[in-house]
Amino acid sequence: MLYRFAFIVFVLGIFSTVITLQKTSQYRFVNDELFSKLYNGWTGSKSKLMLTRLQRTFSLTDKSYTLPHTQAYTESSLLDQYYKNLFESRDFSYGRRRKLATKNLLIPILYYNMGPNNLFRIFKETISIALSMNRTLVVPPFHHHPRMENLQENDMSDEETMDVAIFDQTYTSAIETEPEKTIDLRALRYLMPTVDIKEYYRKCGEKITTVLTCGLIAGKREEGLEHFKQVLKLTVGRIHRVDNFRDVVEDSNRKPHLSDAIHETRNEHCVGLALGAGCLGSRQSWSSYWRHFSSYVRRPSKIKESVLAKQFVEKIFHGKPFLAIHWRYDNEDWQDMCKASRPSSVRQMNKAMCDMANELVTNATSVDFIAKKLLAYATVKNIEYIYFAAPPQMTLTLKRLKWKLPNVYIVSDVLKFATINDLMIDVFDNNFSTSFVEQEICYLGAEFLGSPLSSWTQTVMLDRVSEGRGEYGSVLDVIFNDSNAFPKLTWYFPEGT
């Protein structure tokens, strides 16, 4: 009888364990499935439905992600406090000295055959020229990363998408025409007047009277300029070439090139600016000059540091320093750089990264190797937490990395945090805005390890250096004892250097 009772208890114990494991594995699977679909570009009603399911799932989780339920943690109160602190800071005293005319517009020419972070680089570099020319800055439309989101059929109209040609392949990408979704417009307007593309059309129609071209514009940039005009249905009256704007960047007393540009467009309201190689001079001069403006050029307000990114960092990392890492090399997207149709120079430059990206997919122990290296590095630096940003296609790789390193956090943890606290969940509607969140978190890190050849990494590096967070390096130098086969982490700013 005793044996029979023990056997029944044993069977019930096994059954209970199986049920628990099943529930646990199902919980994780639901998270992964929903998050993967959401993060890869599902939009509209499908996105909202999945978010509702995520909220139900995450409601079962522990309290470590939950903010206190007080008025201080509502979206509106967090935003109000953010701007109060921002505009009272010393940085914003600079902008009050300027009063600019608003009738003369300057629209940056964005090369629509490049990725979105390259477009942001050009946009930022245009700001100082617009200020020096005393013109109102037009915030042009930005496209999403064409290879990071899968647009679903019938999700968007033709007016909301555009074709983006990357090398020999053309992709369909979503377009953001509302400046508030690409830039913190309120902060930028503190420095200078800005308008959106709709206001430009109202004042100028579909014409740019004069396009100022600065530096060398050839090859890909020339093609991108034509594509910009085609997408926005703009015609150009004439082109005026300026050798460079180094006299603006170097802040010299005599500014012949700037004076020439102002003189040539003195009676024109609708002017464009296309930046080419060598336009803005050396990186050292431009970086020093840019520090005066970097505080005003921020990511959209919903995800600035005192809102979602900062709340996540403070709650999850308990105010402790953390290591931020950006890993760019996924096997789906980066292999595109090594196709036979690519120029041989491009294939040779990217071969080591393509091989490594493939290894991460085909050999799970390679992830273990990376985890071991990152743990050793963080231990030496006396850093407890790591944030690891990576393309959305790397879901399985990131899962294994988290399994090996429990103190590694990834974007699904940010989604979990936002969902539990019902805080700005809409930023996860697409990869474009989700990427901003991760860039902001990486900006906040005590140290940043980036990926060579990545414009995403470059954006974070510039923000950090401009605002005194200068500790950065290459993640490849940390992982590999001999990283000579890989490109070095170098600056792309300013355009064409």
pLDDT surpasses 60 at 72? no
DSSP string, 433-445: HHHHHHHHHHHHS
Strand order in the sheet with 270-275: 194-196, 136-139, 105-108, 270-275, 207-214, 235-242
| Distances, alpha carbon 183 to alpha carbons 94, 129, 386, in Å | 19, 18, 27
| pLDDT band (50, 70, 90) for residue 200 | very high
pLDDT at 428: 84
pLDDT in tens, 8-54: 544 445 444 433 333 333 323 334 444 454 444 444 444 555 555 55
Helix (H, G, I), strand (E, B) or coil at 139: strand
Pairing between β-strand 136-139 and β-strand 385-389 as defined by DSSP bridges: unpaired
- Say yes or no: domain 94-296 is CATH 1.20.1690: no
Omega cis (within 30) before 391: no
On whether the pTM is more than 0.85, the answer is no
* Sequence spans of domains, the chain: 43-73+301-479, 94-296
The mean predicted confidence, pLDDT, of the chain is: 81
User: Which has more pLDDT, 171 or 430?
Assistant: 430
CATH architecture under which domain 43-73+301-479 falls: 3-Layer(aba) Sandwich (3.40)
The average pLDDT across 196-209 equals 95
- Give the model confidence (pLDDT) of 127-139 as tens digits: 989 999 999 999 9
DSSP state of 335: G
Q: What pLDDT was estimated at residue 220?
A: 84
Per DSSP bridges, beta strands 472-474 and 447-450 are: parallel
